[in-house]
Amino acid sequence: MASLRKTALLAGGVILALGAVVAVRTATFKAPAGADFSQIKLATAPAIDQALAAQHLSQAVQIPTISHQNPADNQREQWTRLHDWLATTYPASHAAMTREIVLNNSLVYTWQGSDPSLAPIILMAHQDVVPISEGTEKEWRHAPFAGEIAEGAVWGRGSVDDKGSLVGLFEATEALIKSGFKPKRTIYIVSGEDEEAGGAGAKAASDLLKSRKVMALFTLDEGSVILSDHPVTGGPATLIGVAEKGYATLRIAAAGQGGHSSAPPKQTAVVSLAQAVIAINNSPFPMKFEGPGAEMMRYLAAHGSAVTKMAVANSWLFGPLLVKQMGASAAGAAMLHTTIAPTMLAGSPKENVLPQTATAWINYRLAPSTASSAVMAKAQEATKGLPVTLSWEKAPREPSPVSSTTSEGWKLIAATANAAKPGSPLAPSLVIAGTDSRSMTPVSTDVYRFQPILFAMNDTKMIHGTNEHMTLENLARMTTYYAQLIATAAG
């Protein structure tokens, strides 16, 4: 009896001590150091005619620079139209900068700074847009390439992704130049031609800058936004992408006996293929509370519920709970692990013919902690013993490096982003899709992904979807943000 009492007292003591540790860590919890950018003194942005900016975005949307799945279907004259339009619409910018065309239609602008000792900055926005999904044309409230200004917004494909950024950048540079601004730090504006189809143009631009031994303080591209209804804060949160996931497509091929479907063998190519796909899909990468997804929670926890704050402050204890909470949504889960998505199948050309070969494709988005070699090894282990062969459809794209949240570049971008939506908690984030900015890693100390657009989570569906539009409020926020960032970073 005495030993039981002693054990109970010991257990109680452990629980009390554990509770005390949790309480103290929760009470003293602070956001990471990168949340403090108060030492950055922001420059004042020049006045920008926002009505004219809206007209300019409307005009840009009306130039259908569509990247089709088959590049041969692209209308290259539309890129030339866009280049001519940029030169005509922004004459001061084109007089102050040099413009170079790389690959076919990618643009590299150089705005020379007066102090060569300062590392330059790279600002990006791509020219191309995705097609309209077949059969959805009538679902658009305003024609997708009319660029209508209605209902307090500019409507059309590319108004957000990414001609909104392209126009925003040039509205900013035009206003700065006309105000007499002269940069101390050199500024590069890189505009890729094919971000929606692989990003070869951005790679060519990066190669050009690398040949000139450019090493930028930072690169800024699209990728993350200001969410008005972030699930952690219950309100707004400004998210800056510090990394993006890698990309790889696995090809699975299964061979089998062909012939008539009336007398099938026990194991057909299709059966082998189905077993392989299921085996791979049933062997997921575990979700972990680590990397940029976890950092986002650490930055925002102080603005969340008491339970969230306690869990993040004591992630050593509540890590599994945090993973379960974030992993409850597909987008949240994608930030915590490498995802596996079977997407395409090919087999017999006719329903009563047994195929000699059946093929499937699985698309992976690689978390920062996962290399493509680990993905292949895991797939091979899952399909061990099955009569299939595995190969990459094309060379995988590895995850990007994770950029700093304490560097000068981070502080400049974060301080300006904070000014775009004062009072909104700010955090680093992981971009689960891909951007052209990944190509700038060899020529940039840090790479960030952010557009100062205020979106509800549901609004993100219009990107690559139906009824894409840029509100006039967001357009004004973007033009002002780019002007203030340039003036602060290069002034």
Q: How far apart are CA 210 and CA 215, in angstroms?
A: 8
Q: Are 255 and 271 in contact (CB under 8 A)?
A: no
Compute CA distances 162 → 5, 375, 413, 451, 463, whole Å. Answer: 68, 31, 19, 10, 10
Polymer length of the chain: 491
Please, which residues bridge with residue 363 across strands?
Answer: 249, 341
> Which two three-digit tokens encode residue 399?
């995850």
For 308, the enclosing helix (H) or strand (E) is helix 306-313
CB atoms within 10 A of CB 62: 16
> Which two three-digit tokens encode residue 442?
């060899």
Which of 161, 171, 195, 436 is flagged as catalytic? 195
Give the CB-side neighbour count of residue 240, counting CA atoms within 13 A.
30
Which of 128, 194, 196, 221 is flagged as catalytic? 128
- Burial class from Cβ neighbours inside 10 Å (0-12, 13-18, 19+) for residue 450 reads buried
Please, which residues bridge with residue 431 across strands?
Answer: 244
For 121, the enclosing helix (H) or strand (E) is strand 121-124
Q: CB under 8 Å to 214, separation ≥6 — which residues? A: 120, 188, 443
For residue 161, indicate whether it is catalytic.
Answer: no
Type of residue found at 375 = V
Q: How far apart are CA 122 and CA 187, in angstroms?
A: 6
DSSP at 397: B
CB atoms within 10 A of CB 363: 15
Q: Are 216 and 136 in contact (CB under 8 A)?
A: no
Least Cα distance to 140 among 150, 127, 128 occurs for 150
Q: Are 470 and 244 in contact (CB under 8 A)?
A: no
CB atoms within 10 A of CB 65: 27
In degrees, rounded to 5, the angle at the alpha carbon of residue 79 between the alpha carbons of residues 74 and 83 is 175
For residue 128, indicate whether it is catalytic.
Answer: yes
- Residues involved in catalysis: 128, 195
